[in-house]
């Protein structure tokens, strides 16, 4: 099997480096490595999401879905000291890096890197933030999104960034059809910023 950033245990050598990023007017230095998503820089899609959407204050439980080395998770926890952030990824190397970067940012106590099956069943989310792994294929993408959208609290919000040429518009329609009303809040650099809302009790679609 090819070594992808969504491999559980990348076969590539664990060669580490640091990258700089500016998130919500703060400068960060993140540790990255081979075998994780966008190891050389903050990827364009994530940068667009973080530029177009700012976190709001308040006590929240937030999911960073497909966390990679943790830039979204770290930024959310730093910006909102009342937030607890679950950083979920299937890549064990990415989760290790997220823990390192959260500790370096001073939020290691509120960022919880976890494999999907290690998130307790009773955890519900006020928000989901994600640059989802479109390349896993549409069936797996839909399965993944429905799994986590169903854990949004009533009225909870999912913020997604998806390339227009990778199906951003069709994903918007599909989410609405699944019972998660979805609107496009911004477009930039070929990416769509989508906002989906859990409108039913328990966050489950009708």
Give pTM, 2 decimals.
0.89
Please say if the pLDDT value at position 206 is more than 70. no
Determine the topology of domain 43-203 in CATH. Answer: Rossmann fold (3.40.50)
Cα 25 to Cα 21, 22, 40, 174: the distances in Å are 10, 6, 20, 34
Q: Tokens 């190891």 map to which residue?
A: 39
Q: How many helices (H) and strands (E) does the chain have?
A: 5, 9
Alpha carbons 47 and 16: distance in angstroms, whole number = 21
Percent of the chain predicted with pLDDT > 90: 72
* pLDDT score recorded for residue 136: 81
* 62-121 pLDDT, tens digit each: 999 999 999 999 999 999 999 999 999 999 999 999 999 999 999 999 999 999 999 999
* pLDDT score recorded for residue 188: 87
């Amino acid at each position: 099997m090819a070594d992808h950033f969504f491999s559980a245990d990348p076969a590539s050598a664990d060669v580490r480096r640091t990258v700089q990023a500016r998130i919500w007017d703060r400068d960060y230095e993140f540790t990255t490595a081979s075998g994780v998503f966008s190891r050389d820089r903050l990827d364009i899609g994530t940068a667009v999401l973080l530029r177009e959407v700012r976190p709001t204050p308040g006590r929240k439980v937030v999911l960073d879905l497909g966390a990679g080395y943790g830039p979204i998770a770290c930024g959310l926890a730093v910006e909102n000291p009342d937030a607890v952030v679950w950083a979920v990824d299937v890549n064990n190397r990415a989760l290790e890096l997220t823990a390192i970067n959260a500790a370096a940012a001073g939020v290691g106590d509120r960022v919880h890197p976890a494999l999907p099956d290690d998130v307790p069943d009773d955890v519900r989310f006020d928000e989901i933030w994600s640059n989802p792994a479109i390349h896993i294929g549409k069936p797996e993408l839909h399965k993944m999104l429905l799994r986590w959208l169903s854990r949004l609290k009533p009225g909870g919000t999912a913020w997604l960034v998806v390339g227009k040429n990778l199906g951003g518009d069709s994903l918007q329609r599909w989410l609405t059809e699944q019972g998660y009303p979805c609107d496009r809040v911004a477009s930039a650099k070929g990416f769509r910023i989508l906002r989906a809302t859990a409108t039913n009790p328990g966050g489950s679609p009708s």
